[in-house]
């Protein structure tokens, strides 16, 4: 029985993964810091906002506090989220389908709450979600299962009755560790992990039309 669907945000609901790369480059360029070749391979896609800020501060010897780094990133990303970051194709139709079926919906993301609500509001879908859980000091980021388990708790649904929709390997790993079924949707920024994602996920689709068909086939 399917009682709830928990979505990742960046790269899953919204087409935003490239924005983070752009902002990281702009952030370092402002400080005249060369971009290391391995920067984006060293950062795990599922790391929480604060974990990435801690990584940047240590790696580049930044004088700013973790709080100041996160604030600057937030301001930079928020501008994009309000104007040019859009939903992945088929997302709105899938959300409408789940709503008609009275399936609870939540978001489990490594992003922060302000940015999450900003982009969901800008795209007109914030009201679809009954719970939003972010990675923080208290909640470990993916691949730990904590984010998804907390989302299930807020939704008042047992983990085994939740379906997770993810696009990155660490997110798929987190969902499986939470004892949840996970359907993966393709995102170009996860291309390097595609084979592992396909192997681990319960289902893999190139788009949300495929995800919707699989959900109908599996549960309805």
Between CA 50 and CA 41, with CA 122 as vertex, the angle to 5 degrees is 35
Q: For a pLDDT cut of 90, what percent of the chain falls above it?
A: 81
- Residue 46 pLDDT level (bands cut at 50, 70, 90): low
Q: Could you report the per-residue pLDDT of 138-172, keeping only the tens digit for each? A: 788 899 999 999 999 999 999 999 999 999 999 99
The C-alpha atoms of residue 142 and residue 190 are separated, in whole angstroms, by: 15
The C-alpha atoms of residue 192 and residue 85 are separated, in whole angstroms, by: 23
Distant-in-sequence, close-in-space partners of 4: CB < 8 Å, separation ≥ 6? 103, 104, 105, 106, 152, 155, 157, 161, 162, 163
The C-alpha atoms of residue 162 and residue 4 are separated, in whole angstroms, by: 5
Q: What is the CA radius of gyration of the chain?
A: 17
> Which residues pair with residue 145 across a beta bridge?
none
pLDDT at 50: 82
Q: Look at residue 87 and give its three-state secondary structure.
A: strand
Q: Could you report the per-residue pLDDT of 74-111, keeping only the tens digit for each? A: 999 999 999 999 999 999 999 999 999 999 999 999 88
Q: For a pLDDT cut of 70, what percent of the chain falls above it?
A: 95
- Residue 22 pLDDT level (bands cut at 50, 70, 90): confident
Calculate the alpha carbon distances from 151 to 6, 127, 198, 201, 204 in Å. 7, 16, 24, 19, 22
CATH assignment, 4-16+86-219: 3.40.50.1000
Calculate the alpha carbon distances from 62 to 56, 58, 216 in Å. 7, 7, 49
pTM for the full predicted model: 0.88
pLDDT at 20: 82
Domain locations in the chain? 4-16+86-219, 17-83
């Amino acid at each position: 029985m399917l009682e709830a669907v928990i979505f990742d945000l960046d790269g899953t609901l919204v087409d935003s993964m490239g924005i983070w790369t752009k902002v990281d480059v702009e952030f370092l360029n402002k400080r005249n810091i060369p971009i290391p070749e391995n920067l984006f391979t060293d950062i795990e896609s599922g790391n929480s906002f604060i974990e990435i800020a801690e990584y940047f501060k240590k790696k580049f010897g930044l004088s700013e506090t973790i709080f100041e780094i996160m604030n600057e990133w937030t301001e930079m990303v928020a501008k994009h989220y309000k104007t040019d970051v859009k939903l992945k194709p088929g997302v709105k139709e899938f959300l409408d389908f789940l709503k008609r079926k009275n399936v609870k919906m939540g978001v489990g993301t490594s992003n922060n709450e302000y940015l999450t609500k900003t982009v969901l509001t800008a795209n007109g879908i914030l009201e679809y979600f009954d719970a939003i859980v972010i990675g923080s000091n208290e909640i470990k980021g993916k691949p730990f299962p904590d984010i998804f388990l907390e989302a299930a708790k807020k939704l008042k649904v047992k983990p085994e009755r939740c379906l997770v929709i993810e696009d990155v390997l660490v997110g798929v790993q987190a969902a499986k560790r939470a004892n949840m079924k996970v359907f993966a949707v393709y995102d170009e920024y996860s291309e390097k992990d595609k084979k592992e994602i396909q192997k681990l996920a319960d289902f893999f689709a190139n788009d949300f039309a495929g995800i919707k068909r699989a959900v109908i086939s599996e549960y309805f």
